[in-house]
Amino acid sequence: MTMQFSDIAAKAVADGRIAPEEILVLRQLGWADGQMDPDEAESLFVANDALVEPSREWCDFFVEALANFVVHTVEPHGYVDQEMADELTFRIDRDGRVDSLAELELLVRVLEISTSVPVSLRSYALQQIEAAIEHGAGPTRQGELSGSGINATEVALLRRMIFAPGSEGPASVCQAEAELLFRLKDAALYEPNAPEWQELFVQGVGNYLLGFAGPEPLNSERAAELEAFMNAEGAGIGGFLSRMMTSDVEDAFGSLLGGADPDTFDWEGEAEAGAELTPAESDWLRDRLDADEELDDYEKALIAFIDAETGESFVPRP
């Protein structure tokens, strides 16, 4: 870490504030050699803890700098391993929760720009929103964000989390996330929620029931093998094409489609199959609906969405 970087960060800690021009210098110094180092990353966490009223400029820099550090420090780039995820969670956790909106934004940004992250990191990020709604306190309930119900900031963060590339399935909602949406709906059912909340609830649960996630994403180990293959000597287009003829390489690229043959994989058929409720999915939904004495407006909107998508009438248990 450069002395100037250290001095500016230390001054922010001492003063509890940082000027826009100082943020600009930190931004320039942080990428002077193409990447941040661990000491620089730690100094940003310390400075963020000390700032009395973090500015929008600071939050943007904090999130951008540290998200890039987390996602692109360990190879293969874009894949956050368990060790890095554990270090990030440990560093920002305060009594089991995130205390600043900048740190919550950092978690969300890591999910957005990464190809894959451990389940534990995704779960930890989502738990922060659930805790804020359940207890009425947390980073999304500070200042102008205070209030009951589910506010617009929480809806936006939830949408970014569950549809992020680094989520359980890229652009798809998993069962645990759909169940989370039901819990949040029940917890804030009679509160003055943001208008966007019902749309996210319907789209999120509907995506889980009717969406098509496609093959599983590559894990970090498989990605490292493919990256090494592409970077190997003779990896020009000619070498690449010739080496694709080997069985090992065919197996490697087959993993991109979850082991399926890309030439014979039935994309259209899989998508059509996803656009209808299976008996197991119907039972899952009826179990969620049975938890209430009667259908609420959110559940009615969800059923209307499913009926429109499937062309059939979904009938809850009597």
Report domain extents, the chain: 1-73, 220-257
Looking at residue 156, what is its pLDDT? Answer: 93
| Strand, coil or helix: 290 | helix
Per-residue buried b or exposed e for 138-154, using 16+ beta carbons within 10 Å of the residue's own CB: bbbbeeeeeeebbbebb
Looking at residue 168, what is its pLDDT? Answer: 53
Does residue 218 contact residue 255 with C-beta atoms inside 8 Å? Answer: yes
Rounded CA-CA distance 206/201 in Å is: 8
Tens-binned pLDDT, residue by residue, of the chain (318 aa):
566 888 888 998 899 999 999 999 888 887 655 577 888 889 999 999 899 888 999 999 999 999 999 998 878 888 899 999 999 999 988 666 788 889 999 999 999 999 888 989 999 999 988 988 888 778 887 766 556 789 999 999 999 999 887 655 545 788 999 999 999 999 999 998 999 999 999 999 999 998 754 444 444 554 455 445 444 544 443 343 344 444 444 444 444 445 555 555 443 554 454 568 899 999 999 999 998 878 999 999 999 999 999 899 998 987
Dihedral sign, Cα of residue 10, residue 11, residue 15, residue 16: negative
Looking at residue 223, what is its pLDDT? Answer: 46
Rounded CA-CA distance 143/145 in Å is: 5
Looking at residue 213, what is its pLDDT? Answer: 45
Nearby residues of 265 by Cβ (< 8 Å), 6 or more positions away: 257
Looking at residue 248, what is its pLDDT? Answer: 44
Q: Note the pTM of the prediction, 2 decimals.
A: 0.75
Which of 13, 28, 111, 121 is closest to 71 using CA atoms?
A: 111
Looking at residue 193, what is its pLDDT? Answer: 92
